[in-house]
Amino acid sequence: MSRPDESLIRDKDLRDELERLRGKPLFDTLAQTLVSRQEKRDAERAVERDKAAKLAALPREKRRRAIFREVIENDGPSPDNLRYMPTPLAICGLPYKALPDGENEFERKQGRMAVTVTAGKLRAPDGQRIQQPVPFGPKARLIMAHLSTEALRNNSPVVETSETLSGFMRDMGFEPRGGRNGNIEPFKEQLRALAACRMEISTWDGRRSGQIDVKPLQKVELWFPDHADQKSLWPTTIAFSEDFYRELKAHALPIDVRVLRALSNSARRLDLMLWVTYRITRLQTRLVLDWKPLKSQFGEDYTRDRAFREAFREDVAALKEIFPKLPLKLTERGLEMDAAEPSALAIPKRSLGS
């Protein structure tokens, strides 16, 4: 047996082991084993470098989804990772972007359910009542998911929050950023919009109809200090109204927080993920949805059918980048969907309710 090339052993722990073995019986055989271990490590590192290079070459959002996909695949479903969205909002959703000036009501229907959201006013520190917008965009959805989850976990409509705005944002997965293009002011705007709005949740079946008219947030610190790290002088609690909390307890849809974060820059993709989660885990047979109802549900920003279809294909592809085995397929007719176990969406089966 030829002597092993000791220069191939470079890692400090392996070099230290080599010196401990020097002069002992079968040294050459043991040294060759260390060479093999070094080669294996080098091969694994090469794979990781190649993987990191491919990841770095991806566009930012695509890279974000790829990272979360790997985390979900490695760690699997866990109740600790679940967040909850009120089912009517998960099915019907909020506006994707700010409504035009002067428009203070938004309605979206899905099947035999509708959610109507009406903007309200809030009292400012100077005593004036200030008109708020209808809540919109991804931040409004993520705020609602966070608060709903905390209420359900604590079995109480009252949610204790961090003493500072920045702490509250970090609890939700936002890293606070100030300045003109930061997220602090938009975050405040959406929390105020949620605090001021009213929601009408309606259902019907052709013979009967019913609705609840609720103000989701009953108590909230509305006017934050100028500095996000400054402690609030008000009690650090947010309270859901009793009516909304009862609806939340009866109808809350679970979703993995890692998915929310992977899609946190797109309100439409968040809505699509929530909607797919609701539909796909309740199917008994294959469902085929035509393009027309899909555009009615998700095409808020599109007037041309072709533009919507192209965007929707990208949205479905984004979901499948996170969950490659998701049984969704787009055809000329529309969207085909097969039943799937909750675990396919990183949701523990016992966590799936109404």
Q: Tokens 């359910």 appear where? A: 113
Element (H, E) at 32: helix 27-57
Q: Tokens 């991806």 appear where? A: 58
Assign 97 a pLDDT band (cuts: 50, 70, 90).
Answer: very high
pLDDT of residue 167: 81
What's 251's DSSP letter?
S
Residue of 133 and 353 predicted with greater confidence = 133
Residue range 140-155, pLDDT digits in tens: 999 999 999 999 999 9
Q: Which residue type occupies 210?
A: G
Residue 217: what are its φ and ψ, rounded to 5°? -105, 120
Q: What percent of the chain has pLDDT over 90?
A: 58
Contact 342, 353 (CB under 8 A): no
Q: Tokens 């929050």 appear where? A: 161
For residues 221 and 197, give the distance between their C-alpha atoms in angstroms, rounded to a whole number. Answer: 15
pLDDT of residue 120: 94
| Residue 124: C-alpha distances to residues 129, 222, 232, 288 (Å) | 6, 8, 15, 49
Assign 2 a pLDDT band (cuts: 50, 70, 90).
Answer: confident
Judged against a pLDDT cut of 60, whether residue 233 lies above it is answered with no
For residues 79 and 120, give the distance between their C-alpha atoms in angstroms, rounded to a whole number. Answer: 35
Residue range 62-74, pLDDT digits in tens: 998 999 999 999 9
For residues 324 and 145, give the distance between their C-alpha atoms in angstroms, rounded to a whole number. Answer: 24
Q: Tokens 């009866």 appear where? A: 250
Exposed e or buried b per residue across 17-45, where buried means at least 16 C-beta atoms within 10 angstroms of its C-beta: bbeebeeeeeeeebbbebbeebeeeeeee
pLDDT of residue 298: 94
Average pLDDT over residues 11-35: 92
For residues 259 and 270, give the distance between their C-alpha atoms in angstroms, rounded to a whole number. Answer: 9
pLDDT of residue 227: 67
Element (H, E) at 167: helix 165-171
* pTM for this entry: 0.83
Element (H, E) at 28: helix 27-57
Residue of 301 and 305 predicted with greater confidence = 305
| Residue 81: C-alpha distances to residues 75, 158, 174 (Å) | 10, 21, 16
